[in-house]
Amino acid sequence: MSIFHITDTPDWGQLKINLTSRIHAHPIENARISISYTGVPDETLEELTTDSSGQTDTINLPAPPIEYSLDETNELQPYSEYTISVKAAGYESIQIAGAEILSTVTAIQNISMRPLIPDTNQNSIYVIPAHTLYGNYPAKIPEEEIKPLTESGEIVLSRVVIPEYIVVHDGSPRDSTAKNYYVRYKDYIKNVASSEIYATWPTNTIRANVLAIMSFTLNRVYTEWYRNQGYDFTITSSTAFDHKWIPERNIYDSISIIVDELFADYLARPNVRQPILTQYCDGRQVQCPNWMTIL
């Protein structure tokens, strides 16, 4: 696949950054933030400072033409990649490489910073992998959309519950070295949607995909699918088993608004209590007859 170069005639996307303390979720004021191209990390493009709410101004950044993300036959990278470096007094420095900026939409980078341990100089670095519609990821392993709930000893919730938090295992289920993350349900859905669809798509297309992601996730919650197999998490970040979730990745305003609108909804069959395990594929890199496609 070809890579977008900034010398091409660009469109513009937007970026807004929100900083909070990991301990008390208080906003972090007067943090110093530098923005650079991920391919040229030492050349600063923008320097920002957070206000009393822990937020920066919304800035414009070059991005590939919007058509790149709307044309399903396009093989050019539809987003530009930036590195965000953050320093704040009393907190560990943090660097996020690969923040994705799409044309015409606002990328929202939420960052939770760890208080600095005295006499240390710590720096956390996160590298955001390629978007699932652009990179190469394992195809979903087919499962039944309605799980049988008749096995002896099975743990199943008595009703569908919208959780406040879920536990995300950042790897395949059997990878015991992968880290577990406690993530707010809505934040998880926003992260997955931003990782698996493009925020430039029409509103109703985004809405349909978000609904599918939520229904799949709530099926895992309702059936306690992984806990019933002896694991201590709700869902994984492996595309072979679940959806792609990426620590510290940016989300988008167009997706965030729709998740806030639909967060308590899911898909179900008549006379079936559990949410449908709504599996889908991109319809281009992976073909999946009789499944939903996101393109």
Q: pLDDT for 57-81, tens place per residue?
A: 999 999 999 999 999 899 999 999 9
What are the boundaries of each domain within the chain?
11-127, 165-293
Q: Residue range 163-179: average pLDDT?
A: 97
Q: Any idea which residue has 């519609």 for tokens? A: 133
Residue 216, φ and ψ in degrees, nearest 5: -60, -50
Architecture of the CATH domain 11-127 = Sandwich (2.60)
What per-residue confidence (pLDDT) applies to 161?
87
What per-residue confidence (pLDDT) applies to 9?
53
Distance in angstroms (rounded) separating the CA atoms of residues 275 and 213: 11
Q: Poorest-confidence range of 86-95, 155-164, 172-181, 213-222?
A: 155-164
Nearest to 132 by CA among 242, 219, 289: 242
Q: Could you tell me which residue, 28 or 42, shows the higher pLDDT?
A: 28
What does the pLDDT look like over 92-101, one tens digit per residue?
Answer: 999 999 999 9
According to DSSP, the residues that pair with 111 across neighbouring strands are 19
What per-residue confidence (pLDDT) applies to 153?
46
**Share of residues in the chain with pLDDT > 90 (%):** 78
**pTM of the full structure:** 0.90
Nearest to 131 by CA among 161, 163, 162, 99: 99
Distance in angstroms (rounded) separating the CA atoms of residues 15 and 194: 14
Distance in angstroms (rounded) separating the CA atoms of residues 75 and 133: 10
Cβ neighbours, 10 Å, residue 60: 12
Q: Any idea which residue has 């008390």 for tokens? A: 24
Residue 215 CA to its chain's centroid (Å): 16
Cα→Cα distances 172→77, 117, 131, 144, 190, Å: 27, 32, 18, 19, 21
Residue 225 pLDDT greater than 70, yes or no? yes
**Do the beta carbons of residue 91 and residue 28 sit within 8 Å?**
yes
What per-residue confidence (pLDDT) applies to 291?
46
